[in-house]
């Protein structure tokens, strides 16, 4: 967070002073006019003195940023408070400050940083907003200074970078839920996975034959009757959401691109599945590298992870599908958002659905996101292949909303799976 080495240069005015001074001095010598020589020497000396003055050690500054709120949704404004602290023994100079930010956040903020006494602080603020999700660095800040005559320019960079996290759009998916997520017999599907090592402890009244070592004395004292601990292993629904991030498969750019639709859909689905009580796993190229999809995570953390999702090589998605197979071998709901690209992976993807469990497929007709008229035969072929394996599938084009696609695959009135 200390300042980087400064760059000190003569401004165009300063170089003009030096050039004019040299010409006047030479002309004065040639013509024999001492006054002209003195003027020339004065101009050169003034520029050199200004440059020497600019070489003085600058007061050390540190910078700290506070972003409110720390995470935002697309198009939501965030306020950034930048605090400069003078850690030196003398006052700092007057600077023109420029904060370096990503172009999607808007123009680079510029502001005047007043003179700061030793040990003092100065605070400035600005507002940023992004239409696209992602992690955006804030800073470092560059300080510019000129002498009173405008002959020299000093530029220094103060280290220290903040961050703004823009989450993907999460849209409500209504009250519908996938097969096996209801009550009663629907909860007895392979989507119910026992969590070994966890204990669900409840308190109940004492029955004849109960182990006295399980008596819960605080509850007994409170109730006035013997109470014992009942320890059961809970059964929890498990779900995995697979995101196809093959760069060669996606079309379009920005918020209207197919990949952004896929990321927003994945974020909305994990939020809805958590509401239904599922344990969640997210299979993406990023989670595979970080080994984070092997353990269940909450929807909030997964949405944060999706903010950094990006497209990658085809080989990486093959590895994602291979690793995801290990998570669903004991059953669980599978949700996949895929592109109609490289049909060689379709067999492995279709096989992720376990017998008796549900699988939901969202096939992106990616050409429509680039302006083509749909539907395309490639997307229909992927749909039919997954449907033949027992998946509930919908083809998504650029006009399909996420709630519409979710309502289609979770429609309980469907008679023929996959004929959508």
Q: Is residue 92 part of a domain?
A: yes
Claim to verify: residue 114 and residue 211 sit in the same structural domain: no
Q: Is residue 304 part of a domain?
A: yes
Model pLDDT, residue 416: 42
Q: Higher confidence at residue 108 or residue 179?
A: 108
Claim to verify: residue 210 and residue 162 sit in the same structural domain: no
C-alpha angle with apex 377: 372 to 380, nearest 5 degrees? 110
Q: Higher confidence at residue 83 or residue 198?
A: 83
pLDDT at 184 over 50: no
Which among 115, 156, 155, 142 has a CA at the least distance from the CA of 11?
155
Model pLDDT, residue 44: 93
Q: Report, as an integer, the average pLDDT of 259-268.
A: 98
Average pLDDT, the chain: 86
Which among 389, 406, 394 has a CA at the least distance from the CA of 353?
389
Claim to verify: residue 250 and residue 268 sit in the same structural domain: yes
CATH code where residue 125 lies: 2.60.40.10
pLDDT at 192 over 70: no
pLDDT at 281 over 80: yes
Share of the chain above pLDDT 70, in %: 87
Q: Is residue 45 part of a domain?
A: yes
Q: Is residue 179 part of a domain?
A: no
Claim to verify: residue 400 and residue 369 sit in the same structural domain: yes
Q: In the structure, what pLDDT confidence band is assigned to residue 197 with cuts at 50, 70 and 90?
A: very low
Q: Higher confidence at residue 281 or residue 205?
A: 281
CATH code where residue 322 lies: 3.40.50.410
Model pLDDT, residue 217: 82
Q: Report, as an integer, the average pLDDT of 193-199.
A: 42
Q: Give the model confidence (pLDDT) of 118-140 as tens digits.
A: 999 999 999 999 999 999 999 99
Claim to verify: residue 222 and residue 241 sit in the same structural domain: no
Q: Is residue 78 part of a domain?
A: yes
Q: What is the tally of structural domains in the chain?
A: 4
Q: Is residue 252 part of a domain?
A: yes
Claim to verify: residue 330 and residue 263 sit in the same structural domain: yes
Model pLDDT, residue 191: 52
Least confident interval from 93-97, 181-185, 204-208, 322-326: 181-185
Model pLDDT, residue 267: 97
Claim to verify: residue 256 and residue 207 sit in the same structural domain: no
pLDDT at 290 over 50: yes
Q: Is residue 172 part of a domain?
A: no
Mark which of 54, 70, 89 sits at the end of a domain.
54
SS3 77: strand
Q: In the structure, what pLDDT confidence band is assigned to residue 202 with cuts at 50, 70 and 90?
A: low
Mark which of 166, 192, 211 sits at the end of a domain.
166
Measured CA to CA, the distance from residue 56 to residue 71 in angstroms comes to 41
* Rounded alpha-carbon distances, angstroms, from residue 105 to 124, 137, 138, 163: 18, 10, 10, 12
pLDDT at 178 over 80: yes
Measured CA to CA, the distance from residue 305 to residue 42 in angstroms comes to 63
Measured CA to CA, the distance from residue 274 to residue 184 in angstroms comes to 19
Least confident interval from 46-60, 183-197, 207-221: 183-197
Q: Higher confidence at residue 20 or residue 160?
A: 20
pLDDT at 185 over 70: no
Claim to verify: residue 133 and residue 274 sit in the same structural domain: no
Q: Higher confidence at residue 4 or residue 400?
A: 400
Q: Give the model confidence (pLDDT) of 9-22 as tens digits.
A: 899 999 999 999 99
Q: Report, as an integer, the average pLDDT of 88-108.
A: 92
Q: Report, as an integer, the average pLDDT of 269-288.
A: 93
pLDDT at 186 over 80: no
pTM for the full predicted model? 0.79
Claim to verify: residue 48 and residue 116 sit in the same structural domain: no
pLDDT at 261 over 50: yes
Model pLDDT, residue 198: 41
* Rounded alpha-carbon distances, angstroms, from residue 10 to 17, 18, 29, 149: 10, 10, 26, 11
Model pLDDT, residue 381: 93
| Highest-pLDDT range among 29-43, 168-182, 260-274, 406-420 | 260-274
pLDDT at 243 over 80: yes
pLDDT at 75 over 80: yes
pLDDT at 386 over 80: yes
pLDDT at 419 over 60: no
User: What are the E-state strand segments in 167-310?
Assistant: 192-194, 200-205, 227-232, 235-243, 278-283
Claim to verify: residue 139 and residue 241 sit in the same structural domain: no
Claim to verify: residue 146 and residue 274 sit in the same structural domain: no
Model pLDDT, residue 189: 44
Claim to verify: residue 129 and residue 224 sit in the same structural domain: no
Mark which of 232, 256, 276 sits at the end of a domain.
232
Q: Report, as an integer, the average pLDDT of 58-81.
A: 94
* Rounded alpha-carbon distances, angstroms, from residue 329 to 131, 156, 325, 334: 39, 57, 6, 11
Q: In the structure, what pLDDT confidence band is assigned to residue 208 with cuts at 50, 70 and 90?
A: low
Least confident interval from 56-70, 152-166, 227-241, 294-308: 227-241
Model pLDDT, residue 200: 45
Q: Is residue 318 part of a domain?
A: yes
> Which domain covers residue 139, as residue numbers?
61-166
């Amino acid at each position: 967070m200390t300042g980087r080495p400064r760059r000190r240069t003569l401004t165009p005015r300063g170089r003009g002073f030096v050039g004019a001074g040299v010409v006047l001095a030479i002309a004065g010598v040639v013509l024999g006019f001492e006054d002209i020589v003195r003027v020339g020497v004065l101009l050169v000396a003034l520029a050199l003195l200004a440059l020497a003055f600019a070489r003085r050690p600058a007061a050390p500054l540190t910078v700290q940023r506070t972003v409110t709120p720390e995470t935002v949704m697309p198009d939501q404004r965030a306020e950034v408070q930048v605090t400069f602290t003078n850690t030196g023994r003398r006052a700092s100079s007057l600077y023109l400050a420029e904060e370096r930010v990503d172009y999607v956040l808007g123009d680079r903020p510029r502001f005047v940083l007043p003179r700061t006494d030793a040990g003092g602080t100065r605070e400035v603020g600005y507002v940023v907003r992004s239409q696209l999700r992602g992690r955006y660095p804030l800073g470092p800040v560059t300080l510019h200074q000129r002498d009173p005559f405008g002959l020299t320019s000093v530029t220094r960079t103060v280290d220290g970078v903040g961050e703004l996290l823009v989450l993907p759009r999460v849209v409500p998916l209504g009250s519908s839920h996938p097969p096996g997520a209801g009550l009663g017999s629907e909860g007895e599907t392979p989507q119910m996975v026992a969590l070994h090592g966890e204990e669900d402890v409840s308190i109940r009244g004492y029955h004849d034959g109960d182990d006295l070592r399980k008596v819960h004395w605080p509850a007994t004292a409170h109730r006035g009757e013997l109470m014992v601990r009942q320890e059961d292993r809970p059964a929890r629904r498990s779900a995995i959401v697979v995101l196809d991030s093959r760069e060669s498969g996606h079309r379009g750019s920005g918020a209207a691109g197919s990949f952004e639709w896929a990321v927003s859909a994945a974020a909305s689905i994990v939020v809805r599945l958590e509401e239904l009580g599922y344990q969640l796993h997210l299979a993406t190229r990023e989670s595979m590298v970080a080994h984070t999809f092997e353990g269940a995570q909450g929807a909030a953390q997964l949405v944060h992870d999706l903010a950094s999702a990006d497209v990658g090589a085809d080989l990486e998605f093959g590895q994602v599908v291979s690793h995801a197979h290990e998570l669903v071998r004991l059953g669980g709901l599978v949700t996949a958002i895929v592109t109609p690209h490289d049909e060689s992976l379709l067999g492995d993807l279709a096989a992720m659905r376990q017998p008796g469990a549900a699988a939901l497929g969202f096939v992106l007709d990616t050409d429509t996101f680039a302006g083509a008229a749909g539907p395309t035969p490639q997307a229909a072929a992927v749909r039919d292949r997954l449907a033949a394996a027992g998946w509930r599938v919908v083809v998504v084009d650029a006009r399909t909303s996420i709630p519409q696609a979710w309502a289609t695959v979770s429609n309980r009135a469907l008679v023929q799976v996959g004929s959508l």
